Amino acid sequence: MALNKDKIIDEYNARIKKVTSQIKYNKKVKYSHVALFKDYVSRLFLWRNALEINDTHLKSRESHNILIYLNNDFKEIFSLELTNLKSNFNATFIHLYVCWNIFKSSINLSKYKKFPEPYDPILKIILRGGDVYIHNGVYHINDNGVSINNILNGK
């Protein structure tokens, strides 16, 4: 599949602008970011298991990107963009959500038609004013400073 990079970049920029304009910066949200993050991780691992991605750590930005396993043509585009997103994980998650929505129609996903959209829960956290970040190698969200690693390990 030949990718028209200029067209992709234009669509990407338009979608990023649309998504980021919807972010609410109210840190006193009523929604449970913890439940949404757990849902995101379970969806991500559902996809990763189906794609036979054996690496179970989620410490790098790239470890959240399942599109590169669905089509090798995407590796160059995604790796370049992820390198530019050093600011925070929220930017990475927005990037992955937008890219998923741009490219999912370019991939044969019939085998995965019953699978949930992977990045919807993490985008909801961000749109509702939430922050997901890593501090000292541990995921945190802004729900009362909860450590995600403790949640994922059942503590």
Altogether, the residues listed in the chain come to a count of: 155
Position 43 scores a pLDDT of: 95
Q: What is the pTM of this model?
A: 0.77
Structure tokens at 62: 């790239």
Instruction: Find the distance separating the first CA and the last CA of the chain, reported in whole Å.
Output: 45
Position 28 scores a pLDDT of: 55
Task: Express each pLDDT in 7-58 by its tens digit.
Answer: 777 888 888 888 888 776 655 545 578 888 889 999 999 999 999 988 777 7
Domain locations along the chain: 30-130
HSE, side-chain direction, 13 A CA sphere, residue 37: 24
Task: Express each pLDDT in 106-131 by its tens digit.
Answer: 788 888 889 999 999 999 988 887 88
